Amino acid sequence: MQERRRAAHQAIQREFQVGLSIMITPELEEYIEQHIDKEPEVLHELNRQSHIRFLLGRMASGHWQGRLLKMFVRMINPKKILELGTFTGYSALAMAEGLLDKEAYVDTIEIDDELEPTIREFLEKSPYGDRVHLHIGKCEEVIERLQGPWDLVFMDANKRNYPEYYKICLEHIPVGGYIIADNILWDGKVIGPLPKADAAQTQAIRDFNDIVAADPRVEKVIIPLRDGLTIIRKNY
Ligand SMILES: C[S@@+](CC[C@H](N)C(=O)[O-])C[C@H]1O[C@@H](n2cnc3c(N)ncnc32)[C@H](O)[C@@H]1O
């Protein structure tokens, strides 16, 4: 009897899980791309150049995440956005594209000055480039020189510092403001034994996820798109 109940329970679980995590085949991928907004030409070229010019080109947000970030900006209607970690500027430009207020802009901070020529090249090519204010430096330090608060923060810099970024960012957003944190599933390494290769980053992301989960001041949801995004709303 118990066996039968367990088998039934497992079948329900399997069905539930299939519903939650549908396998994205290349055919489904193509289908999705036919049914969402196209990737703007400039961003398509920026993504391509990110892969050609840089070893870690895959760090650029890309088509799906770029459209999602733009949609969040449309929904939140922020006057000011802060981005930690510009890389080549893909997400900064995608978010700038979503800005509704004519005065609104994106502050984006990048530590690696070798990226600056590529970022500036594409800011000039994009019709939204003038809405992006690039700051080269360490985000923990640069934030203090900038004029907050920001209604939306996109956290995407050094994974080792996520717990610290969270603390700083919460201080710089108003009640009702949002933080979107990228890479929070870290290729699935947030569960199971700690991998040796990038133990510090993995542990920091685990710590960050636990801190957010236990923080009563914020509402949070996880979107398992790409490497995982946590959407956080500051309630008080
Ligand atoms: C994942 S990439 C950003 C990708 C970009 N947001 C996008 O979605 O297209 C992370 C970037 O953060 C930068 N970074 C790392 N530590 C940083 C720090 N302390 N301050 C500013 N930028 C940092 C890295 O140089 C890298 O370019």
DSSP-assigned states of every residue in 40-90? PHHHHHHHHHHHHH-TTGGGS-HHHHHHHHHHHHHHH--SEEEEE--TTSH
Q: Is 176 helix (H, G, I), strand (E, B) or coil?
A: coil
DSSP secondary structure code for residue 189 in this structure: T
122 lines ligand 1 (CB under 6 A): no
Q: Which residues make Cβ contacts (< 8 Å) with residue 61, sequence separation at least 6?
A: 69, 90, 91, 94, 182
Report the amino acid identity of residue 10: Q
Checking if the pLDDT of 221 tops 80, the result is yes
Q: Is 199 helix (H, G, I), strand (E, B) or coil?
A: helix
d(CA 59, CA 45): 15
d(CA 209, CA 165): 12
Q: Ligand 1 mean position to 6 CA, how many Å?
A: 47
Query: Quick one: average pLDDT of 106-135?
Result: 98
Verify that 104 and 193 share a domain, yes or no: yes
Residue 3 confidence (pLDDT) = 72
Q: What percent of the chain has pLDDT over 90?
A: 89
Residue 210 confidence (pLDDT) = 98
Verify that 16 and 85 share a domain, yes or no: no
Residue 79 confidence (pLDDT) = 98
Q: Which atom of ligand 1 is nearest to the CA of 139?
A: 20
173 lines ligand 1 (CB under 6 A): no
- Closest CA relative to residue 89, chosen from 150, 130, 140, 143: 130
Instruction: Kindly report, residue by residue over 21-43, the tens digit of the pLDDT.
Output: 688 999 999 999 999 999 999 99
Domain, as residue range, for 202: 43-234
107 lines ligand 1 (CB under 6 A): no
Residue 10 confidence (pLDDT) = 64
Verify that 164 and 72 share a domain, yes or no: yes
Verify that 147 and 128 share a domain, yes or no: yes
50 lines ligand 1 (CB under 6 A): no
Buried b (16+ CB within 10 A) or exposed e, 221-233: eeeeeebbbbbbb
Checking if the pLDDT of 186 tops 60, the result is yes
Read off the tokens for 186. Answer: 């870290």
Verify that 218 and 115 share a domain, yes or no: yes
Verify that 151 and 77 share a domain, yes or no: yes
Here the CATH number for the domain that contains residue 59 is 3.40.50.150
Summary mean pLDDT of the chain: 94
The residue whose CB lies within 8 Å of the most ligand 1 atoms, and thus the one to mutate among 158, 159, 201, is 158
71 lines ligand 1 (CB under 6 A): no
Verify that 29 and 89 share a domain, yes or no: no
Residue 25 confidence (pLDDT) = 94
Read off the tokens for 8. Answer: 């039934």
Helices (H), the chain: 2-20, 26-35, 41-53, 62-76, 90-98, 116-125, 139-145, 162-171, 199-214
Q: Ligand 1 mean position to 165 CA, how many Å?
A: 12
Verify that 156 and 140 share a domain, yes or no: yes
95 lines ligand 1 (CB under 6 A): no
Say whether pTM exceeds 0.75.
yes
Compute CA distances 23 → 18, 61, 189, 192, whole Å: 8, 21, 19, 22
DSSP secondary structure code for residue 105 in this structure: E
Q: How many domains does the chain have?
A: 2
